[in-house]
Every structure is written in C-alpha cells, then in structure tokens.
Amino acid sequence: MSPSRIGIDLDNTLACLDHLFHAQAVASGWVGLFPVMNKAQVRAAMRAMADGEKLWQQLQADVYGPAMQGALLMEGAREFLLHCRQVGVEVFIVSHKTQYAGTAPTGLRVAAQMWMISQGFFRSDEGGLAILPERVFFESTRLEKLARIASLAVDCFIDDLPEVLGDQNFPVGVQRIWFNPGGLQEEGMAGVKQYDSWYAIQHDMFS
C-alpha cells in the first residue's frame, strides 16, 4: 500500500553535499585534491589531524552555510518528488539543523531555504515540486527532530543517518527507510528498509 504522508531528511538525503565537503577541504588546504573523498572520508581524514574536530566543525559550517548553494539534488530525487506531487502524496521535510554554526555569516536554515528555492521545491508550476513551505521544518536537536516526525503522523521517514533511524526515541509506527547509496553496513537496523537510490525507493513504494 502506497503511503499518503512521507517525511524526508534534507542534507545528504535530498541535497547531495559530498563534493562540497571535499572541495571546501581542499580549498582550505586540509586534504589533497586526490583521491576524491566523500563526506565520511573527509571527516575521518580531518579528525586525524591536530585540532581535527574543531576544523571539521568549521568545515561543516562552511558547507551548510555559504557553500550550500553548490549542493546538487540527489539523482532520482526530483523524479520521486514529482511523482509524489502527481499522485497526491503529502511530503514533509524535517532536518536537524541549527540556526547558525561556527563563524559562518550565513544562517544555515536560510542557506537551506535558498537552495530549495533554487531547486524549485516550492514552485507549483509545471516542473515545480510543489512542496508547501509550511511543511519544511528545521530542528535544533535530534530529539526535537524525532518529536517533529512523530507529530506529523507520517507513514514513513527517509533518512541517510542510521543513528537517526535507530534512535530509541524514533516514533513507533513510522516505517524507517535508510537512504544508503554507499551500501554501508550498520548494526541495529532490523526492521529498517534500505535502498541505494531514489529510483529504488520510488519503485518499491509505488509499484
């Protein structure tokens, strides 16, 4: 049975940021141009450095702030969201995102909203994704994010982070869907559906 209300995470689920983490780290001289790294690899490399955790936090502030406009929409995500629009499925976006971080002059939530505008999230014309702005929520903590998911009474929630889906406070009765394009292995994910692409999610959810 297809869902009627779907919740989706934003960063690294709808918005692809891997290339930004590597590019920003290279520009700051923290990692080399090659090999090309994804977010997890950049994080591991930086955390091994002196003051690595502090530098990693600054990199996140840069990527989720000023550099956010360079993010890409995940392959297949636009088709998925357009299909939801066509069949009348309500889509809610719930993101764990503070207002500001580090020394970034750009508010992280504003940066995310501007990116969504540039991608046509809120447009209702042909080709627009027609997501209502009031159905986008930014929460300051993971616990607040989980509480928001529960309050929306969605049928399922799609996230790239196993620590969110596996949290003991994740709302009971909401189907957990792990967007896992890297094919990672994680313990404690029993009952969680896993997919490596948005195409696979769409096929299974609506076929």
Residue 197: pLDDT over 90: yes
Residue 106: predicted pLDDT: 65
Please give the share of the chain, as a percent, with pLDDT higher than 70.
97
Residue 104: pLDDT over 60: no
Residue 152: pLDDT over 80: yes
CB 157 within 8 A of CB 145: no
Residue 167: pLDDT over 90: yes
Residue 75: predicted pLDDT: 97
- Reported confidence tier of residue 189, pLDDT bands at 50, 70, 90: confident
Average pLDDT over residues 99-116: 81
